């Protein structure tokens, strides 16, 4: 799974990258500013990347020149295509107000500087597990929605006989929508999925073949 590290400090970038690489996280992207992070996320593109090119987790520095981590997180979370990406804020600021601002912007967790490798990996693994579960849920919902659409389409295509059907009391022909008289079975076949197998009922056998059944 792909992790985006957003930090303006080369030393901090190297530290996070080294810890993550040693733990087996090889698919890493680096951004030295919020603007660079936007480029990595494809925010200016008509449709942000999905599938193998998507980002699964963002490690966001709290303090950066220009757009800070809180503002960047808020902007990312405002976009439908990106709001499910977990954001962990990496910060040296532990004041309650600062952490509240990060959570209010949409961050799911925070890591304090100097970064502890055990803490970093525990929080990263937890966030990636959450993202994987969310992706599975979205896939199931998409499959369910498609199945429901297929079912609705099939139901719309089913022919159903309903309403008043004009029928001749003598010959039993049915008058169709064009005003013509049709054989009963022909009309039903055109307006439903029914098929017919022809035979003779007992009264008709007696009528047409009186010798078959003795009185």
Q: Are residues 70 and 163 in the same domain?
A: no
User: Residue 156 has what pLDDT?
Assistant: 66
User: Residue 120 has what pLDDT?
Assistant: 95
User: Residue 71 has what pLDDT?
Assistant: 95
User: Residue 157 has what pLDDT?
Assistant: 59
Nearest CA among 106, 44, 29 for reference residue 72: 106
User: Residue 138 has what pLDDT?
Assistant: 87
Q: Is the pTM of this model over 0.95?
A: no
User: Residue 54 has what pLDDT?
Assistant: 85
User: Residue 203 has what pLDDT?
Assistant: 81
Q: 3-state SS of the chain?
A: CCEEEECCCHHHHHHHHHHHHHCCCCCEEEECCHHHHHHHHCCCCCCCCCHHHCCCEEEEECCCCCCCHHHHHHHHHCCCCCCCCCEEEEECCCCHHHHHHHHHHCCCEEEECCCCHHHHHHHHHHHHHHHHHHHHHHHHHHHHHHHHHHHHHHHHHCCCCCCCCCECCCCCCEECCCCCEECHHHHHHHHCCCCCCCCCCHHHHHHHCCCCCCC
Q: Are residues 114 and 186 in the same domain?
A: no
Q: Are residues 114 and 15 in the same domain?
A: yes
Q: How many domains does the chain have?
A: 2
Among 125, 151, 177, identify where a domain stops.
151
User: Residue 159 has what pLDDT?
Assistant: 60
Host domain of residue 184: 159-215
CA angle 20-22-27, nearest 5°? Answer: 50
Q: Are residues 17 and 73 in the same domain?
A: yes
Among 151, 168, 197, identify where a domain stops.
151
Which regions in the chain score pLDDT beneath 70? Answer: 45-53, 155-162, 213-215
Among 103, 134, 151, identify where a domain stops.
151
User: Residue 49 has what pLDDT?
Assistant: 61
Reported as a single tens digit per residue, the pLDDT across 152-185 is 877 665 566 667 778 888 888 888 888 889 888 8
Reported as a single tens digit per residue, the pLDDT across 190-206 is 777 777 777 888 888 87
Q: Are residues 43 and 13 in the same domain?
A: yes
């Amino acid at each position: 799974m792909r992790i985006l590290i957003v930090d303006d400090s080369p030393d901090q970038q190297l530290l996070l990258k080294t810890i993550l690489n040693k733990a087996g996280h090889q698919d890493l992207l680096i951004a030295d500013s919020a603007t660079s992070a936007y480029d990595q996320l494809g925010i200016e593109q008509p449709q942000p990347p999905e599938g193998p090119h998507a980002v699964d987790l963002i490690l966001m520095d709290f303090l950066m020149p220009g757009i800070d981590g809180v503002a960047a997180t808020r902007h990312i979370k405002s976009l439908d295509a990106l709001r499910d990406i977990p954001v962990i804020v990496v910060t040296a600021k532990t004041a309650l107000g600062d952490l509240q601002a990060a959570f209010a912007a949409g961050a799911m967790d925070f890591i304090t500087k100097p970064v502890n490798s055990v803490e970093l990996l525990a929080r990263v693994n937890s966030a990636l597990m959450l993202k994987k579960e969310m992706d599975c849920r979205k896939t199931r919902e998409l499959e369910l929605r498609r199945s429901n659409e297929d079912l609705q389409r099939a139901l719309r295509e089913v022919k159903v006989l309903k309403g008043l059907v004009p029928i001749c009391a003598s010959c039993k022909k049915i008058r169709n929508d064009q005003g013509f008289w049709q054989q009963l079975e022909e009309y039903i076949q055109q307006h439903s999925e029914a098929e017919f197998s022809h035979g003779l009922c007992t009264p008709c056998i007696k009528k047409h073949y009186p010798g078959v059944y003795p009185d």
